[in-house]
Copies of this chain bind each other. A is one copy, B any other.
Amino acid sequence: MLMDWQFQKDKREARDCRERLKARRTDLAALQQPLKEAKLPVIVLVEGWGAAGKGSVIHSLIRELDPRFFKVRSVGMPTAEEQRWPFLKRHFETIPEEGKILFLDSGWMDETVRERMRRDLSDQEYQRRLESIRVFERQLAAGGYLLVKLFLHISQETQEQRLEKLAEDKDTAWRVGENDRKQNKNYDKALEAFEEYLTATDFPWAPWKIIDGTDAVCSQLDAADWLYAQISDALQRRPRPEQPRRAWPLVPIPLLKDVALDKTMEEEDYDKALKRCRKKLAKLHNELYRRQVPVVIVYEGWDAAGKGGNIKRLSSALDPRGCEVLPIASPTPDELHRQYLWRFWTRLPKTGHIAIFDRSWYGRVMVERLEGFCTEDDWKRAYDEINEFERELTDAGTVVVKFWVQIDKDTQLARFQDRQNTPEKRWKITDEDWRNREKWDAYEVAINEMLQKTNTRNAPWHILESVDKRYARIKAMSIVIEALEAAL
């Protein structure tokens, strides 16, 4: 895409460009209201050579926009703190809400190409990284996001001249980094790395637009024209990415109706086992810290199945400074207006820490599916998206353990009635619980489908038979111990 590029030689009529740019900015401003009404979120990725004019292009594009409708983010290399999470986390975190435009001055491309050139990424890691980026961009597009990807291209000579000019003035000299100089010196190598990345990530539903950065005003006009055309098109019809082609390494798991629920544990055995598990977990948590392994534990289950008590036994055995229980309620407006996995990406544990999710992203294929909070297309797509999400976690070294807490319908009724009849417990039972109970059969279909389609080798489900809560608690703790021991 870059290799055979013919740089602009004759200056286009500058005055003409300037006039057209001015008009185009007004056009862009006029798109803000339609964009808001269409609830279209837009990410404008501005990548390119150092000193190619990325900042100036953004500056020019936002000139007539209302600050309520856009944000600009300048993304540097990840800090030591940021490196304690999977690669995609800090990028997922910045995604805009619907109706807003996010301008990124470099993003995941710059980070990836730099690491590639510094040899921080092996060939295999680089391919894996491209896979992460493909997943990320596809999930965003499938979630209704418009991705506008600009690459500002300049020649080696142009770059050299600009870097020199910046270095001359003490107030702009700090803008010229070591990386820019290196890039200019090794222009051909960098060109190759850019080309490789651009080719690998040029999707029909989120194509790259190469912009000639030789002349500042012309490049701004080209960017504005492209952005305007892309938004106008998306307002007519959102880009539709392909389906993921991945065949997941799924592991068979029994249907809920075939799960025997008669398992029990005597109180005496329980007390002993609890003590033993607590001790082991405390020790393992220290080791996790030392070895900097992050852990994600997911609890899903029927209302009144005993999730809360089970979580409490597990979490109270762990160091609270490194373990957080995350109760997942219905999404806030902020969360509702972004891709649905956003609120989980932002809550991931850092290395050495444990996050216990009390309900999770699986809400998408249970309550959101059954209550119509998302479209059929949304929840059907979610199985793959969730598998992809969990693979990002496990590939980054996270231990992922998922529990389904299982009881039968009669046990639930007995527990509901007990809650209703015990004043201290009454706040735990709501009308919604009774309504959900009426949909037991529909839920069972959805849960079975979920378990079948997301029981991957890297992030497996475990069913906790919880008619006897003691049995379920010890089973959960034992599974966590096993998973941690295997990982350490």
Query: Which of A's residues lie within 8 Å of B, judged by CB?
Result: 30, 33, 55, 58-59, 62-64, 66-68, 71-72, 74, 79-81, 103, 105, 169-175, 283, 286-287, 289-290, 308, 311-312, 315-316, 319-322, 324-327, 332-334, 356, 358, 424, 427
Contacts and interface: CB of A to CB of B under 8 A. Distances in A.
A137 to B, nearest CB: 23
Contact of A321 (B55, B169, B358): B55
Contact of A74 (B173, B322, B325): B322
B319 A59 contact: yes
Contacts of A322: 74
B324 A72 contact: yes
Contacts of A170: 290
Given A67-B358, A81-B79, A321-B74, A33 B427 contact: yes
19 contacts: A30-B424, A55-B319, A58-B320, A58-B321, A59-B316, A62-B316, A67-B325, A67-B326, A67-B358, A72-B321, A74-B321, A79-B79, A79-B80, A170-B290, A171-B286, A172-B286, A173-B290, A174-B290, A175-B286
Given A172-B286, A286-B171, A287-B171, A324 B59 contact: no
Given A79-B79, A332-B334, 12 more contacts: A33-B427, A58-B320, A62-B320, A63-B316, A66-B312, A67-B315, A67-B325, A67-B356, A79-B81, A171-B283, A171-B290, A175-B286
Contacts of A172: 286
Give the 6 A-B CB pairs with smallest separation, nearest first.
Answer: A67-B325, A171-B286, A74-B321, A72-B320, A68-B327, A171-B287
Contacts of A79: 79-81
A85 to B, nearest CB: 15
Contacts of A33: 427
Give this chain's copy count.
Answer: 2
A173 to B, nearest CB: 8
Contact of A320 (B59, B64, B286, B312): B59
A317 to B, nearest CB: 9
Contacts of A332: 332-334
A170 B321 CA distance: 19
Nearest to A284: B171
Nearest to A75: B321
A67 B290 contact: no
Given A172-B286, A290-B171, A334-B332, A66 B308 contact: yes
Contacts of A105: 321
Contacts of A324: 67, 71-72
Contacts of A290: 170-171, 173-174
A308 B326 CA distance: 40
Contacts of A72: 320-321, 324
A322 B282 CA distance: 45
Contacts of A356: 67
A66 B312 CA distance: 8
Contacts of A325: 67
Contacts of A68: 327
A321 to B, nearest CB: 4
A387 to B, nearest CB: 27
Contacts of A66: 308, 312
A29 to B, nearest CB: 10
Contacts of A81: 79, 81
Contacts of A424: 30
A164 B311 CA distance: 33
A59 B281 CA distance: 14
A476 B362 CA distance: 52
A174 B289 contact: yes
Nearest to A292: B174
Nearest to A322: B74
Contact of A67 (B63, B67, B327): B327
A441 to B, nearest CB: 29
Contacts of A173: 290
A315 to B, nearest CB: 7
A452 B71 CA distance: 34
Contacts of A59: 316, 319-320
A38 B55 CA distance: 50
A321 B58 CA distance: 8
Contacts of A312: 64, 66-67
A407 B63 CA distance: 26
Nearest to A287: B171
Contacts of A283: 171
A263 to B, nearest CB: 26
Nearest to A321: B74
